[in-house]
Amino acid sequence: MKVLLQVLALGILALPTFAAETDTAKERVGTVCAACHGMNGVSVADHIPNLAGQRAAYLTNQLESFRDGSRKSDIMKPIAEQLDGAELARLATHFSALPPAPSSAKSALLDTTSRTNVTLPSSFERGFKRYLVKNDADGKVVTHYYASNVAFAAAATGKPLPDGSGIYLVTYEAKLDADGNPTKGSDGNFIPNQVRSYTAMAREAGWGRDVPSVLRNENWNYAVFDAKREIRKSVNQAECLACHKPKAASSYLFLLNELTAAARK
């Protein structure tokens, strides 16, 4: 009886810790994981796996593999690297306990990470400078990179890009010759034809306030627009935030060196 009472007492003492760990896992799920995998482990898109009902050991192993780089993912690695082993295990346990959903089921995008403040400028003729052109022969497209004057000025002096900065990519279908090959202009780049899409990243004060720290890129927000300049609501900003997260040292840009070189000419 004495031993039994001791065991019960230890169990009661452990309850607050267990409850706290459960609450921590739910909070992380609700603010970060749910952005892609849904609050109930049902993903928001076909290219993202459902986690509900998966084995805890399997999920833990996958998260550890993302963290150490043995499994490649530009989105999951930056997230997993910010979580310790105990938290990875708690998250795995949380999702494994959820009931599996039909494969056709989808969760809604998480508002705090999918909502973007980025708008598309009416023109890039004023307030912006083109700093890079990239040709894609396989896709038969050409992309023009623009930076706001604020971003251009900061890059010229080697300073981090401040609020007010904006980077905009305009992707055009290349003009084709009679054989269906892209034609080049005098500068050696493909001649642009019709706009295919716009990709944007911009920042203003307070724009990162509601984004969880695991995903936050300071005040940067992201957006993609179609040829009609309408925002693509299906694009999950959480994936952009995660992908750019490791680039904090370069103002969250993948091509800061190219911007800096152009700004210093």
Per-residue pLDDT of the chain (265 residues; tens, 9 = 90+): 554 445 444 454 444 444 445 567 788 888 899 999 999 999 999 999 999 999 999 999 999 999 999 999 999 999 999 989 999 999 999 999 999 988 789 999 999 899 999 999 999 999 999 999 999 999 999 999 999 999 999 999 999 999 999 999 999 999 999 999 999 999 999 999 999 999 999 999 999 999 999 999 999 999 999 999 999 999 999 999 999 999 999 999 999 999 999 999 9
Counting beta carbons within 10 angstroms of the beta carbon of residue 71, is it exposed (0 to 12), middle (13 to 18) or buried (19 or more)? middle
CA neighbor of 136 nearest in space, from 197, 199, 200, 190: 190
* Separation of alpha carbons 227 and 171, rounded Å: 9
| pTM of the shown model | 0.85
Cβ proximity of 190 and 142 under 8 Å: yes
Cβ proximity of 62 and 228 under 8 Å: no
In angstroms, the Cα distances linking 139 to 135, 212, 238 are: 9, 35, 26
Kindly state the DSSP code that residue 155 receives in the 8-state scheme: H
pLDDT value for 17: 43
pLDDT value for 4: 44
Cβ proximity of 68 and 23 under 8 Å: no
pLDDT value for 22: 55
Token pair listed for 167:
């980077």
Token pair listed for 94:
């949380």
Locate tokens 């984004």: which residue? 211
Q: Alpha carbon 40 to chain centroid distance?
A: 20
Domains belonging to the chain, first-starting first, are 2-108 (1.10.760.10), 128-263 (3.50.70.20)
For the chain, the straight-line distance linking the first and the last C-alpha, in angstroms and rounded, comes to 83
Token pair listed for 10:
């230890």
Kindly state the DSSP code that residue 161 receives in the 8-state scheme: P
